[in-house]
Structure 1
Amino acid sequence: MAPKIVKMGIDVHLNGSAEQFHDVFCSRTHHIANVCPDKIQGVEIHEGEWGSEGSIICWNYVHDGKKCVAKELIESIDGKNNKMTFKVIEGDLLKDYKSFKFILHVTPQEEKGSIAHWTLEYEKLKDHIPDPHTLLQLVTDVSKDIDAHLITQPQVSRVEADVPIKATAEQFHDVFCSRTHHIANVCPEKVQGVEIHDGEWGTEGSIICWNYVHDGKKCVAKEVVESIDREKNKITFKVLEGDLLKEYKSFKFIIQVIPQKKGSRVHWIMEYEKLKHHIPDPHSMLEFAVQLHGLASLMFSTIV
């Protein structure tokens, strides 16, 4: 006998952008408890990384006046379409349901804002189990709380890319952390120079200046090394001055290198706030970074 899978859904109208709302549930899920602590008391990661498929997270929430727990697998993420699926693998919901999924799809609207379409997909353990209408209402209320919070915050967006490499995570991280000034030797047509203006190479708080060619133009970016996490092979650069700030109020480059069975995976994130709405998202800059990482990997055979 085929499983009796049932679906119920709702549209929640949002004032914020589709990208922002999706990013909260994808990469910043752990902040939701700060926005609506009366409904969500905590979200912790148990396995994997925030914003990556296959990760396992645990929700502590209040439903129908009771404290509940749900351990979920991030089954799929579609960043391009602002869509993701959470599959419940342990917790209170599985006392009544054989399976349970939360599917989020956020679509931009032509004039303003976006719509979050939530789908609850479930199979009851017994026929008399009620449909989860109150849970759908909880999801709606949490969505509205998050949207209200987002419109009071700076309109920070992000673009991301994952790139597999043959080098180890430690090797690649070290290039951007401590040997950044050598990158111009490997790809002078893209990066013409990297100089330190304050501090020491490989230390937080140092200020470095990049001279690079982007979209056929010579550009400059003065950046502070905002944070370094050697244990996670992660580094964040915050732009202080330069060409990028002609179009963006703020701009950050975040690089994390994650070990794989063979080689590693470079996760690039660019976080930015536009000065004006018509400014394009920096996809060409992301492509520049992806190309740069391939050339930078040559350093392992050229630097002694």
Structure 2
Amino acid sequence: MALYGKLETDIEIRASAEKFHEIIHQRPHHISNICSDKIQGVELHEGEWDKVGTILYWRYVHDGKNCAMKIVIEAVDEKNNSFTWKVLEGDLLEYYKSFRIRVQSIPKDEGSVIHFTLEYEKLHEGIPDSHSLLQLCADVSKDIEAYLMGNNNESSFIAKA
């Protein structure tokens, strides 16, 4: 069993790639209003919300447990609606030496495809691949899609935050 792992998935959504990217990258602190059962909060720890080098603190539910992670925005490509987070601290690092999450929102004729890539190095061979975290990413994406396709009035969105 390899210590290095990479998992990828594509989630098709009806919302635009730009709108999805805007919420998950530029306004992640609003996600807890969209899917509070999965994301309990995102706090700005250092920097600006959507800039490389910014540090964010995420509180989320994974495998039925309340979890947390501190991430740094490692790379951003606004032209291609993509970014990379590197986990600095938190529950994931109990199992992984390193962990990165890449998200790209790809436009289609109607809607978009959200491409998630999880790259990690396990602490030892007995640790399973993180399929459940990839599923959490997919579930959050579907919740964001439902929000964007429903009432996406900007003023009501901000009022909830």
Alpha carbons 2:3, 2:123 under 8 Å: kept: no
Displacement after TM superposition at 1:98 (Å): 0.3
Q: Distance in 2 between matches of 1:154 and 1:104?
A: 22
Per the alignment, residue 99 of structure 1 pairs with 98
Per the alignment, residue 57 of structure 2 pairs with 58
- The answer to whether residue 149 in structure 2 is matched with residue 120 in structure 1 is no
Displacement after TM superposition at 1:154 (Å): 4.1
Change (3 A) 1:20 1:155: farther
Displacement after TM superposition at 1:151 (Å): 1.1
Alpha carbons 2:3, 2:124 under 8 Å: kept: no
Q: How does 1:166-185 map to 2 (within 5 A)?
A: none
* AA matched with 1:60: R
Identity of aligned residues (%): 53
* AA matched with 1:73: V
RMSD: 1.4
Per the alignment, residue 75 of structure 1 pairs with 74
TM-score, structure 2 as length reference:
0.91
- Map Cα deviations across residues 23-76 of structure 1 (whole Å, 9 max, x no partner): 111111000000000111000010001111100001000111100001000001
Give the secondary structure class of the aligned counterpart of 1:118.
strand
Displacement after TM superposition at 1:106 (Å): 1.0
2:151 to 150, 153, 162: 153
TM-score, structure 1 as length reference:
0.49
Per the alignment, residue 203 of structure 1 pairs with none
Per the alignment, residue 132 of structure 2 pairs with 134
Task: Number of aligned residue pairs: give it.
Answer: 153
Q: Distance in 1 between matches of 2:153 and 2:14?
A: 12
- The answer to whether residue 45 in structure 2 is matched with residue 46 in structure 1 is yes
* AA matched with 1:133: H
Q: Distance in 1 between matches of 2:64 and 2:96?
A: 19
User: Which stretches of structure 1, 4 residues or longer, exceed 6 Å deviation after superposition?
Assistant: none
**Larger fraction in helix:** 2
- Map Cα deviations across residues 66-90 of structure 1 (whole Å, 9 max, x no partner): 0000100000111100000010000
Q: Distance in 2 between matches of 1:103 and 1:69?
A: 18
* AA matched with 1:23: E
Give the secondary structure class of the aligned counterpart of 2:80.
coil
- Map Cα deviations across residues 121-146 of structure 1 (whole Å, 9 max, x no partner): 00000001010011111111000001
Q: How does 1:1-304 map to 2 (within 5 A)?
A: 4-110=3-109, 112-154=110-152
Give the secondary structure class of the aligned counterpart of 1:80.
helix
Give the secondary structure class of the aligned counterpart of 1:49.
coil
Per the alignment, residue 159 of structure 2 pairs with none
Alpha carbons 2:13, 2:112 under 8 Å: kept: yes
Greater C-alpha radius of gyration: 1
Alpha carbons 2:42, 2:59 under 8 Å: kept: yes
Unaligned regions of 5+ residues in structure 1, if any?
A: 157-304
* AA matched with 1:132: S
Q: Distance in 2 between matches of 1:45 and 1:36?
A: 19
* AA matched with 2:5: V
- Map Cα deviations across residues 264-286 of structure 1 (whole Å, 9 max, x no partner): xxxxxxxxxxxxxxxxxxxxxxx
Q: Distance in 2 between matches of 1:85 and 1:138?
A: 17
Q: Distance in 1 between matches of 2:35 and 2:50?
A: 20
Displacement after TM superposition at 1:149 (Å): 0.2
Q: Distance in 2 between matches of 1:5 and 1:73?
A: 20
Higher relative contact order (CA 8 A, sep 6+): 2
Give the secondary structure class of the aligned counterpart of 2:29.
helix
Displacement after TM superposition at 1:153 (Å): 3.3
